[in-house]
Amino acid sequence: MSDSVSGISHQPVLYQKVLEFLQPRSGGHYVDGTLGLGGHAHGILQASSPDGRLLGLDVDPQALQLAAQRLAEFGERASLVRGSYARLAEHLAAAGPPSSEAKGWPPVDGILLDLGASSLQFDRAERGFSFQQEGPLDMRFDPQETLTAEQIVNEWSEEDLAEVLFRYGEERKSRKVARAIVKARPLKTTSELAGVVVRALGGRRSGLHPATRSFQALRIAVNRELDSLEAVLPQAVAALSPGGHLAVISFHSLEDRAVKVFMRRESRDCICPPEQPTCTCGHVATVKELTRKPVRPGEQEEQANPRARSARLRVAERL
Ligand SMILES: C[S@@+](CC[C@H](N)C(=O)[O-])C[C@H]1O[C@@H](n2cnc3c(N)ncnc32)[C@H](O)[C@@H]1O
């Protein structure tokens, strides 16, 4: 699917695969925890016609506005809420159609998390996500949050900066980059920061722009993305009805690892250390992994949509 709302072209990643795994059906209840431009949500609502329902969450009011336009045709079947998927349980408890007094959703049939930034966020220079466009060092998904990339870049210690670049960007030369950033302070724009990183690292390595890892690291730190992911996964499993599916699309190895480790642990009846002869943990499997290996986009999708290249989809079924 590639269409446009307000002139923004949009290709939801792994669209068909997501729908195949979620198997939306009439009467079902679904959650899109990362609504973005509403591309996947549109597919879920269409496939669950005439009366499937969707709760869509996003922390970005611009995204919600565009998603609301895209999903207007589904009326009250779509409930769109400004809020973080990290508080999924609360949002489900509060959800209900506007015309109803009753609040709270039943266990849901499918949950989608399509992590990271949307094309809208990357393409709007003023959001500060892109090193290819001149913009302020912002990078917040949620404009109500106070921490920005500018604060991290200009105010955090060299040591903390290096830690962020290493941990969230897997930048091997994190100390070198951090030193260069601190020396170049104050930095105000994405281009200034990208220039400093390029000068610190030299030319392109393995086809990747030298600033890619540093920008990814800052975005993850600004939005505390891994904390939100860790928070949502158990809530998502708890919210699913038996047979319901949790689908997570990640775009870098840190996210994918967190999802894999979670799904693997939750699919085991015992999580005691392997050297322990008898089980003392009492852990009971809550899910079955439907994807031992992550699902990747095909060549055609990768060519049509460069953003899909790093996408990995993992799906688990609630037992
Ligand atoms: C990759 S986009 C989703 C695109 C969407 N699947 C579509 O088809 O249009 C990710 C979205 O998740 C949102 N987001 C990021 N962190 C979030 C969080 N903690 N809670 C809710 N939404 C979040 C971002 O603002 C962004 O709009």
| pLDDT at residue 171 is higher than 70 | yes
pTM for this one?
Answer: 0.95
- Kindly give the pairing relationship between strand 8-10 and strand 3-5: antiparallel
C-alpha neighbours within 13 Å on the C-beta side of residue 33: 29
CA angle 77, 80, 81 (to 5 degrees): 145
Q: Give 318's strand partners.
A: 287
For ligand 1, residues with CB inside 6 Å are: 10, 12, 33-34, 36-40, 57-60, 63, 84-86, 114, 116-118, 141, 223, 228
| pLDDT at residue 1 is higher than 70 | no
Alpha carbon distances (Å) from 83 to 57, 63, 168, 236 = 6, 12, 24, 15
Protein residue with its CA nearest to atom 19 in ligand 1: 84
Of the listed ranges 3-12, 29-38, 156-165, the least confidently predicted one is: 3-12
Q: Which of 233, 199, 209 lies closest to 315, judged by CA?
A: 233
Task: Please state the rounded mean pLDDT for residues 14-33.
Answer: 98
Q: Which amino acid is at 193?
A: L
pLDDT at 207: 75
Q: What percent of the chain lies above the pLDDT cut of 90?
A: 88
Spatial contact of 287 and 262, defined as CB atoms under 8 Å apart: no
C-alpha neighbours within 13 Å on the C-beta side of residue 64: 17
Average pLDDT over the chain reads 94
pLDDT at 5: 58
Q: What is the pLDDT of residues 105-162, one digit of tens each?
A: 999 999 999 999 998 999 999 999 999 999 999 999 999 999 999 999 999 999 999 9
Cα 176 to ligand 1 centroid, rounded to whole Å: 32
Ligand 1 closest atom vs CA 33: 21
CA angle 50, 115, 245 (to 5 degrees): 45
How many residues comprise the chain? Answer: 319
Choice from 5, 11, 32, 34 to test ligand 1 binding pocket (greatest atom count within 8 A of CB): 34
Q: Give the pair of three-digit tokens for residue 260.
A: 């894999």
What is the rounded CA–CA span in Å between residue 319 and residue 298? 30
pLDDT at 313: 98
Q: Which amino acid is at 185?
A: R
Mutual orientation of helices 212-223 and 190-201 as an angle, nearest 10°?
130
Q: Give the three-class secondary structure for 288.
A: strand
Ligand 1 closest atom vs CA 120: 27
pLDDT at 197: 97
Q: Give 78's strand partners.
A: 54
Ligand 1 closest atom vs CA 85: 20
Q: What is the pLDDT of residues 49-105, one digit of tens each?
A: 999 999 999 999 999 999 999 999 999 999 999 999 999 999 999 997 656 667 789
Spatial contact of 241 and 105, defined as CB atoms under 8 Å apart: no
Give 259's contacts (C-beta < 8 A, 6+ positions apart): 229, 233, 248, 250, 314
Greater model confidence, 287 or 204? 287
